[in-house]
Amino acid sequence: MVELSHWQEIIVPQRHETGCVPTGYEWMIRYSKIEGVNLNTFQEDFDLQLRGEGDNSFVPVAEKVKVTYPQVDIKIRNFVKGKDKIAFIKRLIQNDTPCVMSLAKPTGGWHIVPVVSIDDKRVKIIWVANEFGNQVLDYPIAEIISRHDNYRGGKDIAWMEK
């Protein structure tokens, strides 16, 4: 199993009114220890839906973050096949590079989750966080690939290189 080096130190609760994309991006910024970013209001500042400026998908939120904070370079990639997404995530985690994954939900839609470790059979994600810590779930890789290949959405990931 490969695991991010200090993920357990980073707890970023998603506030009720904000979306999972700005929350995931804040988590990556904190993990990467990027300075000069106002993290007290980051989720509210970059929740485009809350602000009436569009949707909270990876690209528009990353573009707005980059305009405000040029030192934050969020990369995004969309994958056709789930197995390719998993292989790419594994390489990121091996390099201690934080990433968030879009995970399709069987009920429709998707959830953006930080990936903290991966092996040949499972992926460990932070499903939700609160003031008491992170709720971490293990997902079988076969389940993630199946959701990726058979459900609408959940095709992309975002990451930040150091």
Q: Which domain holds residue 66?
A: 2-160
How far are the Cα atoms of 3, 143, 147 from residue 122, in angstroms, in the given order?
A: 12, 9, 14
pLDDT of the residue at 87: 98
Mean pLDDT for 132-141 is 94
Type of residue at 11: I
- Tell me how many domains the chain contains: 1
The pLDDT score that the predictor gives to residue 91 is: 98
Using a pLDDT cut of 90, give the percent of the chain over it: 84
Q: Cα-flanking dihedrals φ and ψ of residue 8, to 5°?
A: -70, -15
Condensed to tens digits (0 to 9), the pLDDT of residues 27-41 reads 999 999 999 999 999
Cα separation, 89 vs 19, in Å, equals: 22
CATH of the domain at 15: 3.90.70.10
pLDDT of 18: 85
Given a contact cutoff of 8 angstroms between Cβ atoms, the answer to whether 110 and 103 are in contact is yes
